[in-house]
Structure 1
Amino acid sequence: MRTSRTGDTPRSPRRRRAPRTPLLAAFLAMTVAVAGFVGLTSAGTARGDVPPAPGWNLQWSDDFNGGNGAPPSAANWQIDTGHGYPGGPGNWGTGEIQNYTANAQNLSLDGNGNLKITPLRDGAGNWTSARVETKRADFKAPAGGTLRIEGRIQMPNVTGAAAAGYWPAFWALGAPYRGNYWNWPAIGEFDIMENVNGINSVWAVLHCGVNPGGPCNETTGLGANRPCPGASCQSAFHTYRFEWDRSSSPNALRWYVDDQLYHTVTQNQLDATTWANMTEHAGYFILLNVAIGGAFPDALGGPTPTPATVPGRPMLVDYVGVWTRGGSGPTDPPTDPPSGSSQLYARTGGGLGDAAGSGANATLTSAGGANRDGTPTNPQVFTSGGITRAYNGGATQFDLLVDAGTAVGNGQQVRVSYDRTGDGAWDRTETYLYFATDPVSGFEHYTQARGLKASTGSHGDLVNGKVRIEVWNAIGNGASTLGIGNQSVVRIPYG
C-alpha cells in the first residue's frame, strides 16, 4: 500500500489498507452469494430532471442540464485539482496516482443531462481525471428526521484487465474536514457508491473513529458490497442512495442500490463519542470523482493501473439530490420570516434565517490577483427556501460586515438571487458593485448603497420560493472575512 504518512497519525479520507485475507474473502463471498440476484434495473438515458420522491422535501439538487462541454454549476460545485489539498497528504492520502484537473476533457457536462468525469492518460503515461465537491457542507439529518442523499450514476463502462485501477466514487465527508485535512476519520465519511477495477459490485462504507483500527476497523471501514441489480454497474445507470435516520432509536445509517437495502449501521454499534464526533457538527459535503490506482484497487487486483488499463471511459452522473423527511433543523425547509419581518441573517452552515445566530466569521478566498468582478468565484453561499410572501414593490437591501485586514486592494462583491417558485430557476438576480475595503483591521459595512452592477429578470410573489446570497472577493491578492450569524443581513422586498 502506498501511503503519505506512517504511524498512527489520522489519515486522509477513503484510505484503504490491503484487506486481511478473511475480510477480502468475505467481500468476495458476498459478491458470489448474491451474483444471481436479478431485480429492476435503472438502465437508460438521463432523465433530464431530478425525480420526485413522495413524502420527502427536496433540499438541494443538480440535474446537470447544460451544453456539451460546459463545466458543472459553479454555484453548486467546487473543483478539486492537483494531487492533494494544500497542506494535506499527498496523492489525496489514498495512493491514487492521477492529477485532478478542471479541463473539459476530464470534467464537463455531456449535453444529454449528465456530468461526465473522464480519466485520461497521455503519451508519457501520466493520468488525469476530475473530482468535484458541493459548495454546501451542511447536509445533515434534521433532529427527529431523516436525510437522503441520492445519485443516478453509470460507472465507467470498462471491465476486466482494461479496468485495472479505475476507482469511481460518490461519497460525503464531514464539514470539519475542510481546511483541516488531518481530522479523518473522526469527522465521518459516508461512501454511497464505490467501485474498483470494473468489478460488477457496489461498495457501501462508513469511516469513523480513529485510524488505524478503532470501532470502524480503519482503514477498511464498516462496509458491504453487492452486484448491481439486473444490468451490471458498468453497463447501465443505477440509483445509489444513502439515508441518515434520526427518527428511529437507535439512529441508523442505510445504503441502497435501486431501492434495495444492502447495508446498515446503527448507533448502538458504536460508542457514544465516535457517533457524536461524526454527527454533531455542521453537516456533510458531497463528492464525485474517478481516481486511478490507489490502495483499494491495488488490494483487489494490484498493483494498478497496468499497461492494459484503457483510458477515456467516463463516469456519467444523471443527477444528485438531497432530501429530508420529518423532524426539524437547518436542512428542513426554513419557515417564512415572521409577519412584518423581511430580514434574513447569513448563518453558519450556509443558511439564511429570520433569527440571528451566534456571531461567527466566514472566509472569502483570495481572488488571486485576477479580476472576478461580476463573476461569483469560490463564493460563500447562503440560501433560504420554503418562503411564501407577496412582493411589496420595494428593492433589496443588505448590510454585510466585511474585513480584509491590512491587505491593500481587496474588494468584496455580492449577488442576491430569487427563485420565486422554488423550481431551481433564479427568476431575479442582482449583482452589486464591489466594495473596496480599507487596509485597517476591523469590519466595514457593505450595503446596497454601492449600487447595482447588473440585474436580470424581475421580482414577483414568492410561492415556496428561495433566496440566495453569494459573497466573494472580486479583486485583490488576500483573503477577506465575512461576519455571519448575527452580523450580516439581507432585507428582501416581501411582506
Structure 2
Amino acid sequence: MAGAAVTLAAFGAAVPSDAAPSGAATRAATPQAVPAPPTGWSTVFSDDFGGSAGTGVSRSTWLYDTGTGYPGGAGNWGTGEVETMTDSTSNVYQDGSGHLVIKPLNNNGSWTSGRIETQRTDLAAPAGGQLEVTASIKQPNPANGLGYWPAFWMLGAAARPVGATNWPSIGEIDVMEDVNALSKEAGTFHCGVDPGGPCNETNGLGSGLQSCSGCQTGYHTYSVIIDRTNTSAEQIRWYLDGTNFYTVNESQVGTSTWQNAVDHGFFIILNVAMGGGFPNGVCGCGSPSGSTSSGAGMSVDYVAAYSTASGTPPGGGGGTGAYSTIQAEGYSAASGVATETTTDTGGGQDVGWIANGDWARYDGVDFGSTAATQFRARVASGAGAGVSGLVEVRLDSRSASPVGSFAIGNTGGWQSWETVPANIAGVTGTHTVYLTFTSGQPADFVNLNWFTFGH
C-alpha cells in the first residue's frame, strides 16, 4: 500500500502450509470472537471492536493517520490516492455490533476516509518461529466502486520514526487489497529498493488479483504467516479462508534484503484509500469518478496476531530459547566489553569494544531435543585495515573447543550492521553459551547486537 502495488501477475506458486491459519473457515454473518491461537501458538495481539455504536477505536491500541501523508513523508501517502484521512467517527467508527467500519465519504468532490495503525510495532516472527496476522473483513460493496482501494497490511517498524521514507527496504506485507469493488483480493510483498530491485518495485512481488467470491457481501478471513522455522529458507504465505494462494521465499530476494524487510517487528494498518496507483493499474483510472458511490464502508470483525512462543521448539527444558533472538547485552557475565546505544533496526543496545580475549556468557540456553546446526549473529565493524577476528561459540566452559565460529572484518563502520551465518556442531539440551572473541591483533574488531541459533 505504501508503494503503487500494481501486481497483476503471479510471481510464484503456492506452497502448502503444515497448519492452516487460525479462524480459517470463518465467514461471519454476526460478530465472531477472536479465534483461539493454533495449537502451540500464543495470541500476541487482538481486537474484536466491541465498543459502543458510533465510537472511535481505542487510542491506546490504535494510532489514527490523518491528512494526506506521514509528516515528512511522501504526499498522497506515496501512492497518488486522493482522499484526506481523518479521525472523525464519520469515517472510522465501531458499529456497536462488534465491527469496525472505515467509510470513505464524498464531500462535494473532496473525499475523506480513514486509516489506523496499531500502536505496537513489535509484531514479529521470532527466529526459528512463526507469526500469523489475520483479520475477518467484509470488503466495501458500493454500487459504483471505481477508485475504491480497501487494504489490510503491515509495515516494518523502522518506517514509523521517519515517515516511511525508508520504504521499501524496511518491508511491507499487504495481506489483502482489492480495487474498484471487483470482489477480488491480492497479496503483495515489498522490499529492497525503488524502482526495480529484487522485489520489482514499485509493483512488489504479488499474487495478482485473485477471485474472492462473496468478499463484498460477507466476512472472509485474510491471513499471512511469516515462517522462520528454517532460518536459511524463510518464507511468507498468504491465505484466503485458510487456503494458501501465494508464497514468497527468501531465496527470491536474497538473504540481506530479506532480513532487512522481514526479520523484525511490524505494525498493522487498516484503511480504505480512494484512487491512486493500484486502481489506476487495474482500470486506468487515477481517481474515483463523479459517479463513484460515497459511503460504502469496509467492515472488520476482528484482527489478531499469533506467534510460536519465543521460537522455542517443543521438548525444551526451559531457560532462554536458543531459537529466539538473544540480545547481546543480556549476558549473564562478560569480560572486556561494554554496552552502547545502537542505530541498528529495532534500536536498543549493542555490545562493543570487543577485542582479542574478550568474552560474554549466556546461562540456561535451551536448544530443545532437535539439534541446532546453525548460528547467526548481527555484527558491525569499523576495524582498521588488516584487523579482523573470530566470533566463536563454546558450550559450558570458556576453555571448551568451539562448536562453531565465523570471521569478521570491517563492515563499513561500527554501526554498519550485517547478519553473518555459521554452521555449528549439532547441539541439543540446555547449556551455558560462551561467545569468545579471538584476533591476532590487539585492536577492537567487532560490535555485537544479537545472535540466534537454528536447525
Q: TM-score range by the shorter chain?
A: 0.5 to 0.7
Q: Is the 8 A contact 2:130 2:311 kept in 1?
A: no
Q: Is the 8 A contact 2:149 2:180 kept in 1?
A: yes
- Tell me if 1:15 matches 2:13: no
- Tell me if 1:157 matches 2:141: yes
Please say which of residues 177-186 and 41-50 is displaced more in the overlay. 41-50
> Given the superposition, is the C-alpha separation of residues 121 and 274 from structure 1 closer, same or farther in structure 2, using an over 3 Å criterion?
same
- How many angstroms does 1:57 deviate by? 0.9
- What corresponds to 1:135 in structure 2? 119
Pairs within 5 Å for 1:68-107? 68-107=53-92
SS of equivalent to 1:127: strand
SS of equivalent to 1:256: strand
- What corresponds to 2:272 in structure 1? 290
Q: Deviations over 1:218-247 (max 9, x none)?
A: 000000045455x42211110000000011
Residue from 236, 241, 246 that aligns with 1:263: 246
Q: Distance in 2 between matches of 1:305 and 1:323?
A: 36
Q: Distance in 2 between matches of 1:60 and 1:140?
A: 11
Q: Distance in 1 between matches of 2:221 and 2:263?
A: 28
SS of equivalent to 2:161: coil
- Tell me if 1:253 matches 2:236: yes
- What corresponds to 2:154 in structure 1? 172
- What corresponds to 2:179 in structure 1? 196
More strand by share: 2
* TM-score normalised to structure 1 length: 0.59
- What corresponds to 1:394 in structure 2? none
Q: Is the 8 A contact 1:188 1:277 kept in 2?
A: yes
Q: Is the 8 A contact 2:85 2:115 kept in 1?
A: yes
Q: Is the 8 A contact 1:144 1:326 kept in 2?
A: no
Q: Distance in 2 between matches of 1:94 and 1:308?
A: 22
Q: Is the 8 A contact 1:247 1:327 kept in 2?
A: no
- What corresponds to 1:436 in structure 2? none
Q: Deviations over 1:18-48 (max 9, x none)?
A: x5xxx74x46xx9xxxxxxxxx974333434
Pairs within 5 Å for 1:94-493? 94-122=79-107, 124-158=108-142, 162-180=144-162, 181-225=164-208, 227-228=210-211, 231-248=213-230, 249-281=232-264, 283-301=265-283, 302-328=285-311
**Aligned residue identity for 1:304:** S
- How many angstroms does 1:15 deviate by? 2.3
SS of equivalent to 1:264: strand
> Given the superposition, is the C-alpha separation of residues 95 and 142 from structure 1 closer, same or farther in structure 2, using an over 3 Å criterion?
same
- What corresponds to 2:419 in structure 1? none
* TM-score normalised to structure 2 length: 0.64
> Given the superposition, is the C-alpha separation of residues 327 and 165 from structure 1 closer, same or farther in structure 2, using an over 3 Å criterion?
same
**Aligned residue identity for 2:266:** Y
Residue from 47, 53, 66 that aligns with 2:37: 53
Q: Deviations over 1:253-297 (max 9, x none)?
A: 00000000001011111122211211344x100000000010110
Q: Is the 8 A contact 2:124 2:263 kept in 1?
A: no
**Aligned residue identity for 1:143:** A
SS of equivalent to 1:199: coil
SS of equivalent to 2:279: helix
SS of equivalent to 2:207: strand
Q: Is the 8 A contact 1:226 1:262 kept in 2?
A: no
Structure 2: stretches of 5+ with no match in the other structure: 14-23, 313-317, 321-326, 333-337, 344-455
Report how many residues are paired: 312
Q: Deviations over 1:91-132 (max 9, x none)?
A: 01100010000000100100010111000011x210000000
**Aligned residue identity for 2:140:** P
Q: Is the 8 A contact 1:146 1:247 kept in 2?
A: yes
Residue from 62, 66, 81 that aligns with 2:51: 66
> Given the superposition, is the C-alpha separation of residues 70 and 361 from structure 1 closer, same or farther in structure 2, using an over 3 Å criterion?
farther
Percent same amino acid at aligned positions? 43
**Aligned residue identity for 1:158:** P
Q: Distance in 2 between matches of 1:195 and 1:60?
A: 25
SS of equivalent to 1:163: coil
Q: Is the 8 A contact 1:228 1:238 kept in 2?
A: no
Q: Distance in 1 between matches of 2:69 and 2:311?
A: 36
Q: Distance in 1 between matches of 2:96 and 2:341?
A: 41
- What corresponds to 1:421 in structure 2? none
Q: Is the 8 A contact 2:28 2:220 kept in 1?
A: no
Please say which of residues 80-89 and 48-57 is displaced more in the overlay. 48-57
Q: Is the 8 A contact 2:101 2:298 kept in 1?
A: yes
**Aligned residue identity for 2:202:** T
